[in-house]
């Protein structure tokens, strides 16, 4: 249908606000670099759909995706990544998944291929099961109860959400990498970045998990981002994002991809959300999250959150956004550099050490601050200098 650049309407102004909140909510205290990558990326679209959908303009497909009301489904999501993240050393690679909460566990989740079962029934019931080769990681919400579980070491954590949190997101997973985001969660990160400098078009129809979908193509019109283009498969019937793919600037193949391989819009059996720790498991009770620590955004499985407004600054907008921790929050940087995997991957640059991937750069400054963004390294260095 050709390229279409959106104008600066009121809706786009609201999207700018969403973009800022999206960056804030995806910056955990320790795993900042790779988790931001998780909120920003995903993968290639399957073959074209056999039955053409009614023609829609780019703006109409954006509206369809942004206004979908699908809050009940179950499905299998496959994710694959080629971000250039460091691989686990072969000599020390465990037979099962990496230890929960370690930087290696987060890198492992964002490297190679992974499969998850995702169940959703309204705003109060959700479950994400990440299926590792020899283990399983779960995040489960049933009403006000939230459970995090890792079968690798048979550990579980539980918290009870306050009444005001009935329509809000899950608290941060203490195990570090419990849930894998659904395509809709990831697609919203990019839809929130659509602005006048973004070219939006609609390609040929595609088929994902047996459902006909519009192929929404998003291309930043700036060389100040590492992102070259994003393709989002939008369900032609209900607007649910079914697949997302992100290609780095100048690259031919996607760096990160995620898509439904099976999907049912029927309500999952309620037994899926009834979690009981297995016999012999170690259970930790977490404190009740305070209201100020709960983002005022709708629930979405697999998301991670932190009280970012106190410890995080955001410079730039849209594709050029840079998130940084404030001076005096050096604990996060120290924790990152103590992990041998990240310490080896980070290279010395002016002002600190740089962890670089195809779609994300992270700068750990000499004074212990962290700056991350889908931007070239010099943008991070400039943000760090301006924040002094």
Q: Which domains does the chain have, with CATH numbers?
A: 3-21+41-291 (2.50.20.10)
Q: Please report the pLDDT score of residue 179 as a whole number.
A: 58
Of 3-12, 66-75, 204-213, 350-359, the poorest mean pLDDT is in 3-12
pLDDT tier, 376 (very low <50, low <70, confident <90, very high otherwise)? very high
Q: Please report the pLDDT score of residue 192 as a whole number.
A: 85
Name the range with the highest mean pLDDT among 73-87, 90-104, 209-223: 209-223
Give the pairing type, strands 155-160 and 227-235.
unpaired
Tens of pLDDT, residues 258-312: 999 999 999 999 999 999 999 999 999 988 765 543 333 333 333 333 334 457 7
Q: Which residue matches tokens 């496959």?
A: 78
Of 106-120, 159-173, 293-307, 326-340, the poorest mean pLDDT is in 293-307
Q: Higher-confidence residue: 5 or 62? A: 62
pLDDT tier, 211 (very low <50, low <70, confident <90, very high otherwise)? very high
Can you tell me whether residue 349 is helix, strand or coil?
Answer: strand
pTM for the structure as a whole: 0.76
Q: Higher-confidence residue: 278 or 102? A: 278
Q: Please report the pLDDT score of residue 87 as a whole number.
A: 53
> pLDDT above 70 covers what percent of the chain?
66
Q: Which residues, at least 6 apart from 227, have a Cβ–Cβ distance to it below 8 Å?
A: 40, 220, 246, 247, 248, 249, 319, 359, 374
* Res. 10: pLDDT tops 50: no
Of 40-54, 111-125, 233-247, the poorest mean pLDDT is in 40-54
Q: Which residues, at least 6 apart from 75, have a Cβ–Cβ distance to it below 8 Å?
A: 117, 118, 182, 209, 260, 261, 262, 263, 264
* Res. 234: pLDDT tops 70: yes
Q: Which two tokens stand for residue 235?
A: 């369900």
Q: Please report the pLDDT score of residue 180 as a whole number.
A: 76
| Mean pLDDT of the 33-39 span | 35
Summary mean pLDDT of the chain: 75
What count of residues does the chain have? 388
| Mean pLDDT of the 376-384 span | 94
CA torsion, points 293, 299, 303, 309, in degrees to nearest 10?
-30
- CA-based nearest residue to 369, from 336, 320, 321: 336
């Amino acid at each position: 249908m050709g390229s279409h650049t959106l104008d600066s309407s009121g809706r786009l102004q609201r999207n700018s606000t969403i973009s800022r909140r999206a960056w804030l909510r995806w910056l955990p205290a320790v795993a900042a670099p790779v988790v931001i990558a998780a909120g920003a990326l995903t993968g290639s679209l399957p073959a074209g759909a056999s039955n053409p959908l009614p023609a829609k303009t780019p703006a109409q497909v954006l509206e369809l995706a942004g206004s979908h009301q699908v809050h009940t489904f179950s499905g299998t999501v496959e994710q694959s990544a080629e971000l250039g993240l460091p691989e686990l050393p072969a000599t020390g690679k465990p037979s099962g998944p990496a230890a929960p909460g370690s930087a290696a566990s987060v890198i492992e989740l964002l490297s190679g291929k992974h499969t998850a079962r995702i169940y959703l029934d309204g705003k109060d019931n959700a479950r994400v099961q990440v299926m590792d080769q020899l283990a399983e990681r779960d995040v489960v919400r049933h009403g006000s109860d939230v459970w995090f579980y890792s079968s690798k070491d048979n550990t579980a954590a539980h918290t009870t959400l306050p009444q005001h949190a009935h329509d809000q997101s899950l608290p941060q997973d203490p195990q570090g990498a419990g849930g894998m985001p659904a395509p809709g969660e990831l697609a919203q990160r990019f839809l929130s970045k659509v602005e006048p400098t973004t070219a939006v078009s609609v390609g040929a129809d595609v088929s994902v998990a047996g459902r006909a979908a519009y192929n929404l193509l998003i291309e930043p019109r700036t060389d100040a981002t590492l992102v070259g283009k994003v393709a989002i498969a939008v369900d032609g019937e209900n607007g649910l994002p079914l697949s997302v793919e992100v290609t780095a600037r100048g690259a031919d193949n996607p760096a990160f991809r995620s898509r439904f391989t099976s999907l049912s819009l029927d309500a999952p059996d309620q037994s899926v959300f009834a979690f009981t720790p297995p016999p012999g498991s170690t259970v930790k009770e977490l404190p009740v999250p305070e209201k100020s620590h709960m983002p005022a955004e709708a629930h979405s499985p697999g998301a991670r959150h932190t009280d970012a407004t106190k410890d995080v600054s955001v410079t730039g907008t849209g594709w050029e956004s840079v998130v940084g921790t404030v001076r005096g929050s050096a604990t996060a940087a120290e924790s990152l550099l103590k992990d041998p995997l990240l310490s080896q991957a980070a290279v010395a640059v002016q002002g600190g050490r740089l962890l670089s991937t195809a779609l994300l750069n992270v700068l750990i400054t000499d004074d212990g601050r962290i700056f991350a963004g889908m931007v070239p390294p010099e943008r991070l260095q400039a943000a760090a200098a301006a924040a002094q």
